[in-house]
């Protein structure tokens, strides 16, 4: 296909090398990829919203480097080979049936190229009583299944990635903190502790056992860079008002420990993401870029739902996408913008700009979200 546009300014040797390593289809040019992605988004937005004018607006934002797309959007949007969202987190109940179901879910998402996580806090500790006078083998023992999946189920040329989350007051916490130690059976997963407020308060006030465990957490972070630390109450206290109203509980985060979304027995949270380039903020600050990003990700969500709905081991992620339609709009290039203006990072001017920029993004994206909800 012939295109009138020049290649994007950011499409240099380095970015070309990255995109050519699997982000573009065989024989596809950068123009083809942007056409594929924007056409797919507009298709899933529907004829009323996904107009030719909107498609050109999406293209402009991408060509100018204002809108930065996530890896799965580049790779899979508008194709039949995978999903345009590649980050999931599931909730595991305390039964063999649920553990098996969620293991299958993680396997399927891993096969499709996703990074995954799961919350194990509901599982009984090692030695706890189970049906027919048996004893539980504990939460960490079941993590071995997920550890094996990361070595067996591949994403093409690379293996999968998974993070296990466990409460710091769980009976198996000390066994959990030995993951990735020399000699440990679990070497292929990442892990995180979920820390409630009451536990931190008691530790700070002098509880000897809690201080011993906290010292072990800190020692492990120095030695292995793990575990992540996830403050459970902080995330639930500050969750969006609608989640508080609906009683949605946030049990854990994703593989990257970067988001706070609820999950449940039949809902696996997903991360639908893109970024606005603050290095070019002066170019787009008076434009409708934030609103465009909301519409763009809404189209990506619709494509994800269409590809996962009714599919075995993908239905819980589809449930979440349909009910929540959660999106994440981040930023990049903030340090570059400040450096270009010779503004010190910690200065009053930097703080004022931070408030100004993020207030504007929040107001514009929230209003566009409301508009889409009313459509």
Distance of CA 85 to the CA centre of its chain: 9
> How far apart are the C-alpha atoms of 275 and 36, rounded to whole Å?
19
Of 267, 250, 248, 262, nearest to 316 (Cα)? 267
The owner of tokens 């994206």 is 365
Contacts for 95 with CB less than 8 Å, ≥ 6 apart: none
| 14 given a catalytic annotation | no
How far apart, in whole angstroms, are the C-alpha atoms of residue 68 and residue 328?
A: 12
Catalytically annotated residue among 219, 258, 356, 367: 258
Active-site pick, 236, 254, 272, 274: 254
Q: Active site includes 258?
A: yes
Q: Are 155 and 128 in contact (CB under 8 A)?
A: no
* Sequence-distant (≥ 6) Cβ neighbours of residue 97 within 8 angstroms: none
> Most distant CA pair in the chain: distance in Å?
73
Q: How far is it, in rounded angstroms, from Cα 116 to Cα 105?
A: 10
Neighbours of 201 (CB within 10 A): 11
Assess whether 87 carries a catalytic annotation: no
* Catalytic residue chosen out of the listed positions 28, 122, 256, 291: 256
Q: Which residues are catalytic?
A: 254, 256, 258
């Amino acid at each position: 296909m012939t295109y009138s546009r020049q290649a994007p300014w950011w499409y240099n040797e380095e970015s070309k090398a990255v995109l050519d390593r699997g982000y573009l289809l065989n024989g596809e040019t950068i123009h083809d990829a942007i056409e594929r992605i924007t056409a797919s988004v507009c298709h899933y937005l529907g004829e009323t919203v996904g107009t030719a004018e909107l498609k050109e607006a999406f293209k402009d934002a991408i060509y100018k480097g204002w809108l930065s797309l996530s890896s799965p959007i580049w790779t899979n949007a508008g194709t039949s080979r995978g999903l345009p969202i590649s980050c999931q987190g599931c909730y595991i109940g305390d039964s063999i049936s649920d553990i098996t179901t969620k293991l299958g879910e993680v396997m399927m998402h891993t096969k499709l190229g996703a990074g995954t996580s799961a919350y194990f806090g509901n599982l009984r500790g090692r030695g706890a009583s189970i049906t027919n006078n048996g004893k539980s083998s504990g939460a960490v023992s079941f993590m071995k299944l997920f550890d094996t999946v990361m070595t067996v189920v591949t994403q093409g040329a690379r293996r999968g990635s998974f993070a296990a989350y466990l409460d710091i007051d769980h009976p198996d916490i000390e066994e959990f903190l030995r993951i990735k130690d020399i000699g440990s059976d679990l070497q292929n997963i990442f892990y995180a502790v979920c820390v409630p407020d009451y536990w931190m308060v008691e530790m700070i006030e002098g509880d000897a056992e809690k201080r011993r465990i906290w010292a072990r957490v800190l020692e492990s972070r120095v030695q292995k860079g793990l575990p992540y630390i996830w403050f459970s109450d902080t995330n639930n206290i500050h969750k969006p008002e609608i989640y508080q109203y609906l009683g949605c509980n946030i049990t854990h985060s994703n593989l990257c420990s970067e988001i706070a979304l609820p999950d449940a027995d039949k809902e696996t949270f997903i991360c639908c993401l893109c970024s606005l380039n603050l290095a070019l903020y002066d170019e787009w600050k008076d434009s409708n870029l934030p609103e465009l990003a909301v519409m763009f990700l809404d189209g990506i969500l619709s494509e994800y739902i269409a590809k996962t709905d009714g599919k075995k081991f993908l239905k819980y992620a589809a449930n979440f996408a349909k009910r929540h339609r959660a999106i994440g709009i981040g930023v990049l290039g903030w340090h570059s913008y400040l450096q270009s203006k010779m503004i010190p990072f910690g200065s009053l001017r930097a703080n004022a700009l931070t408030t100004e920029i993020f207030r504007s993004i929040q107001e514009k994206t929230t209003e566009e979200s409301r508009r889409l909800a009313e459509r």
